């Protein structure tokens, strides 16, 4: 009997966010731009709510960094994927790869 992978821990949007951040740290503003390039449009509040949920689940870690630009203090939110987030990403990817290229039932007509 073929082993079935457990249901993924990540939604498709969460998977995409972790995929975009990858192994480095990324500013929230840059992440939002990268999402827009993939036709994912989120308002500021909706984006930061998504990121807060990823932080609460410990899939990403976020912190504020500040720099001075033209005498103004600018605070930016930075994110990085945690080990738990990387494992959830791998597990989600493997879940879908596990279909082995077979069409899903809803796609068959």
CATH number at residue 22: 1.10.10.10
Contact 78, 51 (CB under 8 A): no
Residue 4 belongs to some domain of the structure? no
Residue 62 sits in which domain range?
Answer: 12-102
Flag whether pLDDT at 1 surpasses 50.
no
Residue 68 belongs to some domain of the structure? yes
pTM of this structure: 0.82
Residue 94 belongs to some domain of the structure? yes
Residue 98 belongs to some domain of the structure? yes
Residue 42 belongs to some domain of the structure? yes
Q: What is the pLDDT of residues 46-98, one digit of tens each?
A: 999 999 999 999 999 999 999 888 899 989 999 999 999 999 999 999 888 87
Q: Considering just the CA atoms, what is the radius of gyration of the chain in Å? A: 17
Residue 62 belongs to some domain of the structure? yes
Residue 72 belongs to some domain of the structure? yes
CA 71/CA 1 separation, integer angstroms: 66
């Amino acid at each position: 009997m073929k082993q079935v992978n457990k249901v993924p821990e990540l939604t498709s949007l969460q998977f995409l966010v972790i995929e975009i951040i990858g192994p480095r740290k990324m500013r929230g503003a840059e992440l939002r731009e990268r999402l827009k390039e993939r036709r994912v449009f989120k308002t500021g509040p909706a984006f930061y709510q998504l990121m807060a949920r990823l932080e609460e689940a410990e899939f990403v870690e976020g912190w504020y960094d500040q720099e001075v630009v033209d005498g103004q203090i600018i605070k930016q939110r930075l994110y990085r994927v945690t080990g738990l987030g990387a494992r959830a990403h791998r597990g989600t990817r493997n879940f879908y790869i596990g279909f082995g290229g077979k069409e899903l039932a809803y796609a068959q007509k």
